[in-house]
Amino acid sequence: MIFLRKIFAHSLLAILIISPSFAKAQELNIDKTETFKGKVVSIVIEEKRKITGIDVEKDMQVIRAKIISGEEKGNEIIIENDYLNLDIGDVFYFQKTTRAEDGQISYFVTEPYRIPVLVGLLIIFLIAIFWIGGKPGIRGLATLVGSMILILYVFLPGLLRGFPPVLTSIGASALIIVIGSYITHGKNKTTHSAVIGMLITIIITGILASVSVSLAKLTGLSDDDAVYLTFNTGGNIDMAGLLLGGILIGLLGVLYDVAIGQAVAVEELWRANKNQKPKEVYARAIRIGREHIGALVDTLAIIYVGASLPLLLLFFSSGTQNSTVIEILNREIFAEEIVRILVGSIGLIIAVPITTWISVRLLKKTNETNKTTIGETHTHHHH
């Protein structure tokens, strides 16, 4: 299956690169596809059928549905549905395809109507934020909204316009870090330390990710979505760069936790005993950070594993039958996830000493400035 997908991906790229005029010619005689929303009126047929080529049975329905959106609203149609089980009253999306050759019309169920569920979860989320989270929760929500705006209106458009992926990814990540940190935690020494630490970490991690993607010769075309995106954009997007951006953006959420946690730890240790030497504060904060690292690296790895469960099932169900473990791990679809986990984990690990050192330096400088100010005040008072 993986090899077939790779062959398909390369075939599409070959069409894009070798025959750009082919797409233009097809535009003159292309099937017309429209999307509508429908509601199940009745189930005409419901049975199990075997999938051609494999001995597996799948539910199949023939449903009568009423169109509830678009120009054909109010009309009823018959749809053969083998995608998902629908009940009477269910709302769903379907595609109407009109074949260019002879005008033949066909209908395909595409998605159930999930918006009510999503809105319900959003309402519960907002209630939890306002009721339990309080002002910090509201600031965190504002940060989330700001981050999504930057991703949707700065990062993605930059990649679509062909900006250098490394610089675009690092720049967008830096904006998210700066704006998000100050909105959530305010303007203070702790936030300054965390922001500087995160910016340095992102730059180093971005360079490491870029080098790793290049050396591993990852194309970013390991899944169907990437292939279709390349096809739809005429091959104008650097998919390896998009992979790089995904690594950095995916790291940000956990990186916030590491950097802010270390900056707060340094400040609290210093407040507990202001007579400590900077080296002592650093050593104690690093000990806290090491305990934090173990949990966070595990968290990051589990997040990626959770998102790749179908891939892992493919590995255990059929991947080992004709290939060795090394051969399987070497395939891009697996190697890409390994690079994500390892580069992201390295970024989290180096964030601890970087942020801790910066926090200690800023506190030391502040302490020295305060002592100088107090000394000058006492001298002036004596005269």
Does the pTM surpass 0.75? The reply is no
Residue type (1 letter), 61: Q
pLDDT at 234: 66
DSSP line for 68-81: -SSTTTT-EEEEEE
pLDDT at 329: 75
8 Å CB contact between 32 and 95: no
Q: Tens-of-pLDDT digits for all 383 residues of the chain?
A: 433 344 344 444 444 443 444 444 344 467 788 888 999 998 888 887 776 666 677 778 888 999 998 888 888 889 888 777 888 899 999 888 888 787 788 888 888 999 999 999 999 999 998 898 888 888 888 888 888 888 888 888 887 787 887 788 888 888 888 888 888 888 888 888 999 999 999 999 988 988 888 888 887 776 666 667 777 766 667 777 778 888 888 888 788 888 888 998 898 888 888 788 888 889 898 988 888 787 777 776 777 677 677 767 766 665 555 667 777 778 887 888 888 888 888 988 999 999 999 998 888 776 666 555 544 444 454 54
Tell me how far apart the alpha carbons of residues 20 and 326 are, in angstroms, rounded to a whole number: 38
Nearest to 63 by CA among 33, 36, 38: 38
pLDDT at 372: 52
Q: Which domains does the chain have, with CATH numbers?
A: 34-113 (2.40.50), 134-379 (1.20.1640)
Tell me how far apart the alpha carbons of residues 2 and 10 are, in angstroms, rounded to a whole number: 12
pLDDT at 153: 87
Residue 260: how many CA atoms within 13 Å on its side-chain side?
Answer: 17
Q: Which two tokens stand for residue 308?
A: 């790749």
> DSSP alpha helices (H): ranges in the chain?
2-18, 20-27, 115-128, 134-150, 156-160, 165-185, 189-215, 224-232, 239-272, 278-307, 309-314, 325-330, 332-382
pLDDT at 306: 73
- How many residues in total does the chain contain? 383
pLDDT at 155: 84
User: Is 51 strand, coil or helix?
Assistant: coil
pLDDT at 84: 77
CA 10 and chain centroid, separation: 25
Which residues have a Cβ under 8 Å from the Cβ of 356 and sit 6 or more positions away?
Answer: 197, 262, 265, 266, 282, 285, 286, 289
